[in-house]
Each structure stands twice: as structure tokens, then as C-alpha cells.
Structure 1
Amino acid sequence: MQLKIVGHTLAETTSIDSLNYVKNHENYLSIKREIDSLQKILYKIGYIENELKNIHRVNDSVFLTEIHLKKKYTSIFIYYDKSLFNPKLLNVISKNVFDTYFTIPFIELEKTLHYINSKISEKGFPFSKLHLFNIEIDNKSNLKANLILETTNQKRVINDIIIKGYNKFPSSYLIHYLKIKPNQTFNLNVIKTKTEQLNNLKFASEIKSPEVLFSKDSTTLYLYLQKTKSNSFDGFLGFGTNEDTNKLQFDGYLNLNLTNNLNYGESFKLLYKSDESDQKTFETNLSLPYLFKSPIGLDFALRIFKRDSSFTTVNQGFKIHYQINTKHKIYSGISSTQSSNLLNISTSSNIYDYKTSYFTFAYQYLKNQNLNSLFPVNSLFYLESNFGRRTESSQQEKQSLLNIDAFKILKLDIKNSLYFRINGAALNSKTYFENELILFGGINSIRGFEENSIFATSYGLLNSEYRFLLNNSIYIHTITDWAYFENKILNINEKLLGIGFGFGILTKTGLLKFNYANGKTENTPFKLSNSKIHLSLSANF
């Protein structure tokens, strides 16, 4: 069946045709619904007096309908009570706001009333209603009306919060992380926005949207949460050819992260690494958030590093952190380092026994995307500054150490994305010891080089990857790493390049990653024997 709608004049017919109504229908009921829908559209755009004249059946397949549009009203003057409506609010929706009335285009009337009502609701009056009263014709193309507000005098606040599904969810995260607490003005839209931030937590997620129970004298908020797997075990196995012996060498590490096992939001990290160059690293980190239900948390760190039979270095750190919101965090604390020379005293070297003490200040921005199992973190920015002094024998020297680590995933489309990471550090001192230099190189810095094989007083590196998603559990990527470093002890500065490829597979056990990279210095060619292959497996439990 075909529907044709005409107006009282040719101009009206042209206006109706411009609305692109549906002309082909299966039955008469569908035709009737389309006519009703068109009339509602005409009301909204200003033809409030439009009149349906008739529905005439021309033949078995064609229905002819006539609608008189009549006059179109383009603006409306809305009179309001200043004690009920704040002129500042009205200035957002109208350029013509006066003491007793404001004007808007008629076509924006519905959107305007909805906006005003939503703002009133946000102030704790969810049952408020707006309507226009005494609607009259002001002149040829304008209307005027009174704006009436119907609401209760009782302002709604959150009286109680009940968590369903994860009853032991740490309450401090409600108050300081989500910033939802009792006696807070009730605003459902804001609450929904805040609870969506639960997806930034590793140990909890939202099952469904929050619900509200209104009683005569109280408002109860229900949150539906679930505890998620937040512990992870990560390790990798790497192998390559030793340049001196031409034999195959292996290296690897073990990384354990335990999160929220006590339902406190705490995290504990343990790292043990054994590298190709007979280097051993042991690290532990403990983070205790929201102590005594305050926004303040504590972080403890211990790192022990041993390089063959040359030296050992022990780093200890203590920080206080403040969670500004779900993405931003600041730190302040102290750290100390003690290093011991293991070499024979008569051996010529630049390795000394020394101690350092630093004051530490740091800032972190973290944006997760926990619904993405392959790439759970979208972006990170971490900046740390350390200021203090080094003591060797009886001599003291001022020092500073700066660190930066930042990365971002740029999504091009569903399957294609780019990954960029900037990492760097700089040690500032008048003199330098070999056993206090910054170490980098390997799978977590510039790929294609041995782990912690490069000693620097300062360095900067750029990791980049082009990633292609084969499906929801497999991706492949390129590797292009560039670095620049300085070593003021040896008076050298050099550029490094690492290129290669890799892939990641999400298995039942966890995320398996494979990287193949070849590294070279500025003035040397690529050698196949310098290639490094890294395998890692990160499993959640």
C-alpha cells in the first residue's frame, strides 16, 4: 500500500514532503500510525494547529491524506518565577533572558523543558515536573505561556547504600574513589557516571546499573557489583646467542601481583629476574590505599640488585599517596639506596660503597579499559622527581633523579591501533659511580638488547607498535624502538634501534606474548646473531 499526504496548498505539500515520511506500507494500520507520527512531528516544529482533514482511498493500493498545516509558530515567550528558576540556568538555553520571561525557538521547546527539569532533578528533586500553562498566541508567529514547576519541598539525599553481589567491597572506595556517600544530594545520572568508573578497578566490576528505592522519608541506593579475578602471574623466557661464546643463553623473570585478597583494595607485587649477564633482581612493592577510611594511602618498596661479582645495590622506598579521583594520583615520600663494591680493592674500577637519601614527589595518570582483555590499560603517564644527596666515605654530594614513563593506545578502527610509549630517566650529579648508573635494555625498554645491559647517566626511548587484531583473542604487531643515552663516565652518547615483530594470544591460561627483535647501535649493521626472542605469559587468577 502507498500513502500520499498533501497540504491545503502547494507550499504546504512541499513542507510535508520535506519531512520524508514513509510512503510504502503493508496495511492500513501502518498507514494510520505513520499519519499520527507525522502530526506529532508537525506539532514539535511549530504547526500546533495542524488539522487532519481526511484519509481517502483512491484505489486498492493508494491512500490520499490531506493535512492543513495552517500557521507555523517560530518562537515562544515563557514567563517564569525567579524564586523557582535561576536566570543563570536559563542563560544556558536562551540568548534572551529577562526578569520575568525568556524566549526560545519553538522547535527547541521540548528539549529546553527536559534540560531545565533534569537540572532541577540533579539538585535532589527527582520527582519534579514542568509544564506550560495559559498558552496563548502573542502575534502572528509567536506564542506565550507560563512555566509551572510541580515538586515536593523535601530534598532527596542518599540515606543508605546497599551493595549486592560483592558484600565485602571496601567501603573506602565508595567514599574516596567513586565519591559516593550517605547524605549526598541524590542525582541518579551522576551516580551512574561514577559507578561506571568501577571498570577502572582491577578487582571489581558493575553487574548492572544502580537502582534506587524511594520511601516517604528515605532514599536507598542499590549497587550491583561483582568481585573479579585480580591476581596475576607473569613470566617470560628469552634466549639469544652470546657474542663471546656463540652459545645459546637463556634469561627470564617471574612477576607476581596479588590484589585485594583481603578485600581492602591492597596490592602486593613480587618480581624476581635473572638476566643473561649474570644479573639478579629482587623487588617487592606493597600498596595500602585509604588508610583508616581516609583518602591517604601508603606505598612500600624494596629492590635488591646484584651484578655478577661486581656490586650489589639495595633500594628502599616509602611514599604517601593521595587519590585525587579515579584516574589521578599524587605521591610524596623518601627513599634510600645502599650499594656495596664486591670487587677486590686493588682492582681498578669506578665502583664504590655509597649511600643515598632522596625526597620523592610523583604524579600518575592511569586510564584503564578492563573490558579489553588484550589491552587492559589505554593510557598511562607517570612522572617522578627525586632530590637528595649521596654519601661516599665522608664526602657528600647533591643529586637528583628524574623518571618519566608514558604510553597511549590510539585506536584507528575496530582492528587497527597504534601503541606509543615514552620512557626516560636522568641522574644529575657532579661525579658518577658505575654502580649508581641507570640500567635499561630488554623486553620492558628497548627490545633487541640484553636485559639491563646498557649503563647510562641519562636516556630516553620511544617504543612504537602497529597492532592488527585478527580476532578478539589474537593480535599481531610490529616493533620499532629507538633510544638515545649518555654515559658521562665513559664520555659517550649513542643512538640505539630495535626492530622486529610479535603477536599475542589470549588463552584459557592467560595472555601469551611472543616478541622477536633485533637491536643495533648507531654505527653498526644489523646482525642476525644479535636477535632476541622473548616469550611471556600473564595469567589472572
Structure 2
Amino acid sequence: MQKTLFTFILIYLTFSTEVFCQTLFLEINGSNETETKIIDSLNYLKTHKDYFSIKSEIEFIQNSLFKKGYIEHETSEVSKINDSLFSTTINLRTKYKTVHVYYNNQLINKNILHQISTKVFDNYFELPFKQIENALKFINAKITEDGFPFSTLHLDNISIENKTYLKANLNIDSPKEKRLVNEIIIKGYEKFPRSYLKHYLKIKKNQAFDITTIKNKTEQLNDLRFASQIKSPEVLFSKDSTSLYLYLEKSQSNNFDGFLGFGTNEETNNIEFDGYLNLNLTNNLNFGESFRLLYKSDENDQKTFNVNATLPYIFKTPIGLDFELQIFKRDSSFTTVDQSIKLHYQINSKHKIYTGITNLESNNLLSTINTSNITDYKTSYYTIAYEYIKPQSYNLLFPINSNFYFETNFGNREQTNSSRKQTQLYIDASKIFNLNSTNSFYTRINGSLLSSDNYLENELARFGGINSIRGFEENSLYASTYGLLNTEYRYQISNSIYVHSIIDAAYLENNILNTQEKLFGYGFGFGILTKAGVFKLNYANGKLQNQKFKIANSKIHISLTTIF
């Protein structure tokens, strides 16, 4: 008896599962063949697991038809044709293509309506029926941006004008007074420089409240080196005030950079070393300031000392100050002192413009040798510059996606008993093309041009080395005009390791020697993100256009950038 009962239960469960999981089919027809094709074009779901799913699909189709302008369509009762097939008929009737929406021109600015309609009049505007929903959302978003976050709007008094268009009134329900940002409260990094809120993020007290705009602006905090956003902003509404809460944290932004390079001296066949130290301090006083100290000594007995300081938003204005002092000494030939002061204006988080003055003074140290190419001079320049930086903060190895810096200087060079007008142009631009998560292509263009009636050796641009054309000694190339192209194909093995190729090219003109040269650098390198910082090693070989490769000309450059 028990065995028979068990067999019965097993058979019941097996066959009942098939019954309960039976597939149902839905067929929707129009009142004629044309309407049926219109309904089929909606690609409705024809197979269902139960009757409730069928009813939901019919409601979805009805809603879709309504949005397309078939507001008078009629749907018949669902008929059961057989055990698995259900059918219904929808009479589409008239399709209305346009709606004339009447509005209060005291509440809505015409400029908003012109963004959604090509036909805007003093008291109404025209909309294609299928665009009504998106248009209402857009209008509501614009009203919200003006400080009315709790506004609502809808169409009422909808009536039929003729067989092609409808008439409706736009009803707006919003508070009488705007919501303003009355208080900004920073959590986590309370000493965050407030000037950055007003001038960098463009968020300030008593501005119209719009949470979407605020969220978009606060995302720019991740572009700052010294601060980042922990979580999205939050808002506390009270009866008479609006408090905005920002959640920030201070980031490690100081870095120390240095490299060691060595190569073989062609004359002595001895290994010679060169290197530099680069210290950058950012926001240590919680003012957003930056300070840079660079000291470089290379194998050509050249020494460079550079100090640069930036003070943003002085006196809580959008204007900042940049100071720079650079001293260059080439063996016992000459020294050059470059001093500049600039005012900058931060247009937004990515764009900045500069203006200022630059003074150069160079002294000839070869007092016992008669040379006309190295002599004492003083130059005063007026400077105008523009800078664009686009970060990619998610990538610790390559935090800058693209940058562009252009500077022009014009002034006079003063020598004993002579004065000459000069113009100097400088450009530095780079871009990373991210092919996918592991492969990218890096390119950089750098160049300088000095326009003058005659030239001095101690005023020419100097380049060459790890930060310009690789495979050449640091600052070993002198030019009145030069342009260089750096390229790297990069492959990220992981988030902390990458390898890359090196293909560099440069062109230079030296108007003192009347020479024009084309240079090339080839090699490879890799980088590793460690706890101490980013360690880089480059191996490159440099050559002139008509020169054969020599292993002895190869350079190995090692650098380590430590963030603290």
C-alpha cells in the first residue's frame, strides 16, 4: 500500500510540473491589417508563463500606444482561444501627432522652451506627441536648477482640437520662494580651503540649490591632488534653510622624484653619472598652495637650480600668484638667472590662463677669452600663457590623461649699447589614448621658438634627456628652434606594473651655427608602483639622422617618484 502511494505521488509531481509550467501564447490584433502591423512593430512579448504576465503585457502595449498618440484606442476583452492561446483586439482609432501646450510665460522662460520646441509662441508651444514625457522632465529639471527642487508639473484640461493635434494646459506647482544653499558643511577634511569651493567648484552660499548640478561639480574634487570626495553630497532641508554636507578627505600630495643616469664617455671610455632631485610640496598649509624645488647636475658639468611657488585664490579672489626662480650654470662658460612672476585665473577645474613678466640675466664667465656668441645680456618679457589639464585619477600609474600648455613671451634683450626685440614661443602637450584596460598609446609634443635679429649661445633653448628626447645627454642640445615628439606604446601587466616602447624624434635649428638636425631615440622601459612610489627604468639609444647606431651611445635612466 505504501509503495503504491509513493508511486502515485511521484507520477503526480512529475506530470503536474509539466502542467503548471505550460507556456501560454498571446496574440494581439488591430481592427484591420494596417493596425495589426503597427502593433506588431512594438515587438510585444508573445510567450508567457501565466495569465498575469499576459495582462501585464497588454497594459504595457496600451501605454506604448498612448505615448505614440493613440490616446483613444480601445482594447477588447482577452479571449481564450484554446488551452494555450489568448487573443485580444485593439482598435487604434485616430493618431494625434502634435500637442499645443499652453503655459504661463511668467513662470517659464522662453529660452527653456526653445530647447525642446521649434515652435514657441507667447502663450503656447508645439510638441510632437511622443516627446511630451521627455519634454516635461526637461522643463522640470530646469525649474529645479533655479532653486525649486520640490516643483511638480503636469498637463491638464486636455482636449481634442482636430484630427491631428490636441490642446492642453501646463500646470506647475512649486513653492513661492527659491531654495538657496544657506550653509556648506565639510565633514572629514574640515580644513579644506574654502576658496576652492567658490572658485574651483563654483559652489557658494546663497546660490540656487540644485542637487544634480552640485553632484556634477563635486566630482571635480577627484581632479585635485590634495583632496578627494568620500561619498556623494547630502542635503538637510529645514523649513527656512538648506544645509549642504560635503564629505572629503585629505590626500597625500607631496612627491619626491629623482633619477640616476649613466653612460660611456666617448673620449675617455669611462662611465659617467648624472641625475637630479625634484621635490614637490602641495597643500601643506591647507591653502591649496604648491612649492617645487629642483636641483639637477649632469655629466656635462651643467647645474640647474629651480624654485617655483604657486599661491591660489589670494585674498579669496579667483586670482592666483606664481613665482619662479631658475639658475643655470654651464661649466665655466656662463650663468643665467631667470625670474618670473605671473598672475593666473582658474577658469574651471581644467582650464587656466596666465599673464606676467619675466626677467633674464646672463653673465659670461669666460672673461679671458674673446667670444662673440657668449656675452652678458638682460631680457625682459611680458608673458601670456594658457594651460589645460585633464586627469584620470582612477589610474595611479598614469594620473594625467592629457595636458596642453602654451606660452608666448615678447620683450627686449638689452646688451651693452644695443637693444633688440625678441619673441619666444613654447608649447608642451601630451595625450594618452586608452585602447582598452591594459593597452594604451602615449604621445607628447614639445617645442620652443626664439625669434630675434641675432642670437647668443647663452640664450638658446636647452633640451635632451629623460624628460625630452631620450637617448641623449641631459641638456646637451642647444637650439634657437626645436620640436620633439615622444611616443610610447604601453602595456599594463597589472594595476602596478607596465612596460613600454620608446620612439622619439626631434628637429632642431641652431641659427648661430647655421645647422639643422634631425634626431631619433629608440628603446624600451618599464615602471612599477611600489610602496615607496613609482620606480621607472628607461633604456634608450639616440642618433642623428645620418648616423649609425652605436651601443656606446645608449643611455639608462632610472627614476623613483615617492608620494608622501
TM-score by length of 2: 0.89
Residue 316 of structure 1, CA deviation: 1.8
Question: In 2, Cα distance between the equivalents of 1:23 and 1:469?
Answer: 48
* Map of 2:378 onto structure 1: 355
* Map of 1:4 onto structure 2: 26
Superposed CA offset, 1:469-493 (max 9, x none): 3333333322222211111222211
Residue 456 of structure 1, CA deviation: 1.3
SS at structure 1 position matched to 2:383:
strand
SS at structure 2 position matched to 1:258:
strand
Q: Is the 8 A contact 1:239 1:251 kept in 2?
A: yes
Matches within 5 A, 1:182-201: 182-201=205-224
Closer, same or farther in 2 for the Cα pair 1:78/1:355, shift >3 Å? Answer: closer
Matches within 5 A, 1:166-181: 166-181=189-204
Superposed CA offset, 1:229-260 (max 9, x none): 21112122222222112222222211111111
Question: In 1, Cα distance between the equivalents of 2:384 and 2:236?
Answer: 45
2:232 pairs, out of 206, 209, 213, with 209
Closer, same or farther in 2 for the Cα pair 1:449/1:2, shift >3 Å? Answer: farther
SS at structure 2 position matched to 1:326:
coil
Moved more, 223-232 or 254-263: 223-232
1:227 pairs, out of 250, 258, 266, with 250
Closer, same or farther in 2 for the Cα pair 1:389/1:89, shift >3 Å? Answer: closer
Closer, same or farther in 2 for the Cα pair 1:301/1:131, shift >3 Å? Answer: same
Question: In 2, Cα distance between the equivalents of 1:95 and 1:201?
Answer: 41
Residue 287 of structure 1, CA deviation: 0.5
Question: In 1, Cα distance between the equivalents of 2:338 and 2:122?
Answer: 67
Matches within 5 A, 1:427-442: 427-442=450-465
Matches within 5 A, 1:116-135: 116-135=139-158
Structure 2 segments unaligned to the other structure (5+ residues)? 1-22
Q: Is the 8 A contact 1:53 1:65 kept in 2?
A: no
Question: In 1, Cα distance between the equivalents of 2:42 and 2:102?
Answer: 31
Moved more, 341-350 or 515-524: 341-350
Question: In 1, Cα distance between the equivalents of 2:478 and 2:378?
Answer: 19
* Map of 2:529 onto structure 1: 506
Question: In 2, Cα distance between the equivalents of 1:322 and 1:342?
Answer: 40
Question: In 2, Cα distance between the equivalents of 1:432 and 1:91?
Answer: 59
2:134 pairs, out of 111, 131, 142, with 111
Closer, same or farther in 2 for the Cα pair 1:256/1:90, shift >3 Å? Answer: same
Q: Is the 8 A contact 2:26 2:54 kept in 1?
A: no
Matched, 1:70 2:122: no
Give the letter for the 2:284 counterpart. N
SS at structure 1 position matched to 2:267:
coil
Closer, same or farther in 2 for the Cα pair 1:344/1:145, shift >3 Å? Answer: closer
Q: Is the 8 A contact 1:5 1:16 kept in 2?
A: no
Question: In 1, Cα distance between the equivalents of 2:191 and 2:85?
Answer: 65
2:311 pairs, out of 288, 294, 303, with 288
Matches within 5 A, 1:426-505: 426-505=449-528
1:263 pairs, out of 279, 286, 302, with 286
Question: In 1, Cα distance between the equivalents of 2:80 and 2:258?
Answer: 76
SS at structure 1 position matched to 2:192:
coil
Question: In 2, Cα distance between the equivalents of 1:299 and 1:88?
Answer: 41
Q: Is the 8 A contact 2:81 2:87 kept in 1?
A: no
Moved more, 246-255 or 31-40: 31-40
Question: In 1, Cα distance between the equivalents of 2:103 and 2:321?
Answer: 53
* Map of 2:363 onto structure 1: 340
* Map of 1:318 onto structure 2: 341
Residue 141 of structure 1, CA deviation: 4.3
Matched, 1:278 2:301: yes
Question: In 1, Cα distance between the equivalents of 2:447 and 2:137?
Answer: 51
SS at structure 2 position matched to 1:143:
strand
Question: In 2, Cα distance between the equivalents of 1:519 and 1:240?
Answer: 12
**Identity of matched residues, %:** 61
Question: In 1, Cα distance between the equivalents of 2:57 and 2:233?
Answer: 36
Matched, 1:38 2:45: no
* Map of 2:125 onto structure 1: 102
2:262 pairs, out of 222, 233, 239, with 239
* Map of 1:384 onto structure 2: 407
Give the letter for the 1:287 counterpart. T
Closer, same or farther in 2 for the Cα pair 1:392/1:102, shift >3 Å? Answer: closer
SS at structure 2 position matched to 1:93:
coil
2:45 pairs, out of 19, 22, 36, with 22
Q: Is the 8 A contact 1:157 1:186 kept in 2?
A: yes
Q: Is the 8 A contact 1:313 1:338 kept in 2?
A: yes
Moved more, 395-404 or 212-221: 395-404
Residue 440 of structure 1, CA deviation: 0.5
Larger radius of gyration: 2
Residue 55 of structure 1, CA deviation: 4.6
Question: In 1, Cα distance between the equivalents of 2:81 and 2:263?
Answer: 85
Question: In 1, Cα distance between the equivalents of 2:179 and 2:314?
Answer: 30
Closer, same or farther in 2 for the Cα pair 1:326/1:353, shift >3 Å? Answer: same
Superposed CA offset, 1:95-129 (max 9, x none): 33333332222111111111111112222222211
Closer, same or farther in 2 for the Cα pair 1:388/1:80, shift >3 Å? Answer: closer
Q: Is the 8 A contact 2:433 2:440 kept in 1?
A: yes
TM-score by length of 1: 0.93
Closer, same or farther in 2 for the Cα pair 1:58/1:535, shift >3 Å? Answer: farther
Aligned residue pairs: how many?
540
Q: Is the 8 A contact 1:47 1:69 kept in 2?
A: no
